[in-house]
């Protein structure tokens, strides 16, 4: 995860609305225990690039919904892959339903042979997601990567990764605020063995519910 320098800070108004994000690396997760520990939402890895599918995705999404958590699905964007093919992979495998949080596009590193028109490709991918699900997707990235490559994407809700003891993350150029903050990659929570990414929502539980897909 990238840290780097940002341009501004905002108050962590939603510090009590807590979440986690999981993938195959967390193994078998007890989502009922996560919710009982005070977690409100979970983002689950679905796909990566044009062929990658997280083997635990379907199980994780079903179990998280059954536990009563707000659920979002995320795609790890590969900068060397065709955006339409990546959308096809996500659309085929992601189980996105009304009541879910918007899909997330995780873009945080450049591939060694990245396509030359990164911004145009990403805009195409985001537009396809928005058209398919009727909701503006969330962009996840680190501060330094966003400052270098994503300054024209401030219209999208931001999930920023920055690991700091500060009360709020820096906000990359192009955004005025953050929506979600991944503040630790080494947290612990009941229901997960080992370390897990910890997140905060910048708002109230009612505002989180308002983000859900209708």
For 66, the token pair is 């059954």
Q: Which of 30, 80, 108, 148 is catalytic?
A: 108
Share above pLDDT 70 across residues of the chain, in percent, rounded to a whole number: 93
pLDDT: which is higher, 169 or 1:
169
| pLDDT over 60 (residue 8) | no
**Structure confidence at residue 53 (pLDDT):** 98
User: In this predicted structure, what is the pLDDT of residue 7?
Assistant: 33
The predicted-structure confidence for 137-177, as pLDDT tens digits, reads as follows 999 999 999 999 999 999 999 999 999 989 999 999 999 99
**Sequence-separated (6 or more) residues with CB below 8 Å from residue 28:** none
**Chain mean pLDDT for the chain:** 92
2 classed as catalytic: no
Using the CB atoms, write b or e for 48-79: b if 16+ within 10 Å: bbbebbbebbeebbebbbebebbbbbbbbbbb
Q: What would the pLDDT profile of 9-26 be if each residue is shown by its tens digit?
A: 333 333 489 999 999 999
Q: Predicted confidence band at 4 (pLDDT cuts at 50, 70, 90)? A: very low
Write down the pLDDT at residue 9.
Answer: 32
197 within domain boundaries: yes
First to last CA, the chain: 31
- In the predicted model, what is the mean pLDDT of residues 101-125? 96
Q: Which two tokens stand for residue 185?
A: 């990659």
Residue 3 has pLDDT above 80, yes or no: no
Give the pairing type, strands 70-76 and 39-48. parallel
Determine if residue 40 is left, alpha or beta; phi over 0 gives left, psi from -120 to 50 gives alpha, anything else beta: alpha
Question: Tell me, what CATH number does 139's domain have?
Answer: 3.20.20.80
Q: Look at residue 39 in the predicted model and tell me its pLDDT.
A: 97
Block residue for tokens 């599918």: 53
Per-residue pLDDT at 2: 31
- Of 40-44, 98-102, 112-116, which range is least confident? 112-116
pLDDT digits (tens, 9 = 90+) for 54-94: 999 999 999 999 999 999 999 999 999 999 999 999 999 99
Q: What stretch of H or E contains 144?
A: helix 143-149
pTM (two decimals): 0.91
Which one is predicted more confidently, 5 or 183? 183
- Of 75, 76, 70, the closest CA to residue 97 belongs to 70
Please tell me the distance from the alpha carbon of residue 57 to that of residue 196, in angstroms, as a whole number.
Answer: 16
The secondary structure of residue 1, as a DSSP letter, is -
107 with 77: CB under 8 angstroms? yes
Whether 111 is in a domain gets the answer yes
- 162 an active-site residue? no
Q: Does 3 reside within a domain?
A: no
Is 114 within the bounds of a domain?
A: yes
Domain that holds residue 146: 8-211
Reading the block at residue 89, the tokens are: 């992979």
Tally the domains of the chain. Answer: 1
Report if residue 1 sits inside a domain. no
Do the domain assignments include residue 57? yes
Considering the domain boundaries, does residue 2 fall inside one?
no
Q: What pLDDT score does 16 carry?
A: 80
81: phi then psi, degrees, rounded to nearest 5? -110, 150
């Amino acid at each position: 995860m990238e840290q780097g320098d940002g341009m501004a800070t905002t108050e962590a108004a939603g510090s009590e609305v807590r979440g986690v994000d999981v993938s195959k690396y967390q193994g078998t997760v007890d989502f009922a225990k996560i919710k009982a520990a005070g977690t409100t939402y979970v983002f689950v890895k679905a796909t990566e690039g044009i062929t990658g599918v997280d083997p635990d995705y379907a199980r994780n999404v079903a179990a998280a919904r059954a536990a009563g958590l707000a659920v979002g699905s995320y795609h790890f964007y590969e900068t060397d892959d065709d955006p339409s093919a990546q959308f096809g992979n996500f659309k085929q495998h992601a189980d996105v339903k009304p009541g879910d949080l918007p899909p997330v596009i995780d873009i945080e590193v450049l591939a060694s042979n990245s396509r030359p028109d990164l911004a145009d490709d990403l805009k195409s991918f985001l537009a396809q997601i928005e058209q398919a699900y009727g909701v503006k997707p969330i962009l996840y990235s680190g501060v330094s990567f966003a400052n270098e490559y994503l300054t024209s994407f401030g219209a999208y809700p931001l999930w920023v990764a920055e690991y700091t003891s500060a009360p709020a993350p820096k906000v990359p150029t192009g955004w005025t605020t953050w929506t979600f903050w991944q503040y630790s990659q080494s947290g612990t929570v009941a229901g997960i063995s080992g370390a897990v990414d910890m997140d905060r929502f910048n708002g109230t539980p009612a505002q989180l519910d308002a983000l859900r897909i209708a």
